[in-house]
Amino acid sequence: MNDVAPALGVTVDVVAFTIRDRTLWVLLVERAGPPFEGGRALPGGFVRSRRDHRGRVHGEDLDEAALRELAEETGLRPGEGALARVHLEQFASYGAPARDPRMHVVSVAYLAFAPDLPDPRPGGDARTAGWVPVAAALDLAFDHDMIVTDALERIRSTLEYTPLATAFLGREFTIAELRAVYAAVWGEELPAADFHRKVLSVPGFVESSGAVTARGGARGGPRARLYRAGDARLLHPALLRPGRENAVRL
């Protein structure tokens, strides 16, 4: 092993998704300083670490850093209110030597699944942050276009195998609301009848709360039953995206 450690930078970047108007939005910030000043980027920053006068390391773990960055940008406090319900998950690291013009920086990227959070407070940070539809999240700073693309593929796959779609919803939700999450993330409508039966047949995906919605749909229809997230960590059987046969070959 080469025991000399070059001074590299380590950042965390968070790809925070939420759902508004039946589509997927991502949280972006406007950069206040160089490089890419004025450009849009993912919320993120350097992992904090320092030594005290005895030489002992005081630093944060990667998960902590990601949660801190998300809290800073949204103006919410970690573990409080809506942020307490956000699911954070590391998904990849990026370390191309030229990805940051200042120095060699390795970025650890996180996915965040957020219920509809409030718009970030404008004066909360030097940078302004805001939610943007994923289709409009282009021409980002650094290699963040690639990170968003990878994150999108990851979240689409995650919804197939885990019950984390519920992390986009409130504590109680209807099957139709859950279906809307899948439709927004996968970018296609799903057959309502089959989705309904499928969700209820997967053990631990959702559990009934016994209640129903106060009103029917905006344009009519019966009042729907309400459910809560169940205790499953994985969906078995999985809820696979339709028509993926063509994505399989080289």
Partner DNA sequence: TTAATAGTGTCTTTCAGACAATATTAT
Partner DNA sequence: ATAATATTGTCTGAAAGACACTATTAA
Q: Which residues are at the interface with DNA (CB under 7 A)? A: 174-176, 191-194, 196-198, 200-201, 212, 215-225, 237-240, 242
Which of 38, 118, 203, 216 is in the footprint of a copy of itself by CB under 8 A?
Answer: 203
Task: Select 94 or 173, whichever has its Cβ closest to a copy of itself.
Answer: 94
Which of 90, 118, 122, 194 is in the footprint of a copy of itself by CB under 8 A?
Answer: 90
Written as one letter, the residue type at 105 is V
Task: Select 106 or 132, whichever has its Cβ closest to a copy of itself.
Answer: 106
- The SS3 call for residue 88 is strand
> What is the nearest approach in angstroms of DNA to the Cβ of residue 236?
7
Phi, psi of 167 (to 5 degrees): -70, -15
Check residue 124 for interaction with a copy of itself (CB under 8 A): no
Pair of tokens at residue 90: 């590391």
CA–CA dist 23, 185 (Å, integer): 7
Q: Give me the torsion for CA of 235, 225, 118, 40, rounded to 10°.
A: 40
CA–CA dist 247, 250 (Å, integer): 8
β-pair type (225-229, 206-212): antiparallel
Check residue 77 for interaction with a copy of itself (CB under 8 A): no
| Interface residue list for a copy of itself (CB under 8 A) | 1-10, 29, 31-33, 44-50, 57-62, 65, 90, 92-98, 103-106, 108, 127, 203-204, 231-236, 244-245, 247-250
